Copies of this chain bind each other. A is one copy, B any other.
Amino acid sequence: MDYQRIFEEINEEIKNDAPCGEVASYIPELGRVDPNKFGVHLTTVNGEHYSFGDSDEKFSIQSIAKVLSLAMAYNMEGEALWERVGVEPSGTPFNSLVQLEYDMGIPRNPFINAGALVIADILVSHLANPKEELIRFVREVSGNNEIDYCTRIAESEKSMGYRNAALINLMKSFGNIKNDIDVVMDFYFNLCSIEMTCKELSRTFLFLATYGICPETKQTILSVSKAKRINAIMQLCGFYDEAGEFSFKVGLPGKSGVGGGIVAIYPNKYSIAVWSPRLNKKGNSSKGIKFLELLTTKTQASIF
């Protein structure tokens, strides 16, 4: 399919839309990003590449990285993982404590902050040098040795992380955090600080469109079943309390980050990354969602 032409077409349609939403500003590092950046990169399972706009510029992938830590932890723990975190949509904002209190410290899914903290705790239990080993895993998956944390972002998040500290302390009080809180938090904030370009992000996530197989090395990153299950969780929980809207309009499993990035997977077809820093009220990239909606509408191709 001629995605390049479709990208141009979509761009024509939306380029004059009034800008919608604000850049995340809870930490200065995110607030300084040019709100008008816009990049797209699609990688097919056959290795074709289609780009648009600022697709080669690095941005903070933020919560999108939670899919990668989940993949790593899922491999290590297997299905036992789900005793400590659920797979249900939360029905509440991404950082809510309400649900966590009713559910006795078991987060609804691994993509809300509480769930990602539990995943981080699991990795800290398994890994001798969590930060080093996680980034090594990400580099392997992405086929790119340059991928790295952004220490500045990580530090900045840490200094403002009271809400996450509330979540992790609450879970610790219920016995669902096994390691030292500061160690887990430090690891978590580093995880969320990873930077990629749209091209790198799209390439990194291709393994979820290829049923767990690394497209280049043909190495198995995840079993077919695990890869499909991660896609299912993204479908149900990847966009906080806007997951239904995204499924409804775009029809692909995906994950967003407050840096304005979105990655979406069309199994057996492609992985696509879009980036536009203005966020809607639910904390997801406005223009990113619009772009993907038009893409699956024009191509008449979604998983449904």
Q: Show the binding face of A for B, using Cβ within 8 Å.
A: 86-92, 96-102, 108-109, 162-163, 165-167, 169-170, 172-173, 224-225, 227-229, 231-233, 235-237, 241-245, 247-248, 251, 253, 267, 297, 300, 302-304
> Could you say how many copies of this chain the assembly holds?
4
Q: Quick one: which of A247, A253, A300 has the most chain B CB within 10 A?
A: A247
Find chain B residues with CB under 8 A from A102 CB: 98
- Known contacts being A87-B244, A236-B243, A236-B244, is A166 close to B173, with CB within 8 Å? yes
- Other-chain contact of A229, B88, B248, B267 (Cβ < 8 Å): B248
B304 and A228: CB pair below 8 A? Answer: yes
Asked if A166 contacts B97 (CB within 8 A), the reply is yes
Residues of B contacting A96 with CB < 8 Å? 101
- A231 CB contact (under 8 Å) in B172, B232, B245, B304: B304
The complex places the Cα of A244 from the Cα of B228 at a distance, in Å, of 13
Q: Distance in Å from the Cβ of A244 to the closest Cβ of chain B?
A: 4
Query: Which of B108, B165, B235, B251 is A304 in contact with, Cβ under 8 Å?
Result: B235
Bound Cα distance from A138 to B265, whole angstroms: 35
15 pairs, A vs B, C-beta closer than 8 Å: A87-B244, A87-B245, A91-B91, A97-B97, A97-B166, A98-B98, A162-B173, A165-B169, A227-B304, A228-B251, A232-B244, A232-B304, A235-B236, A235-B304, A236-B247
A303 with B300: CB separation less than 8 A: no
Asked if A162 and B172 make an inter-chain contact with CB atoms under 8 angstroms apart, the answer reads yes
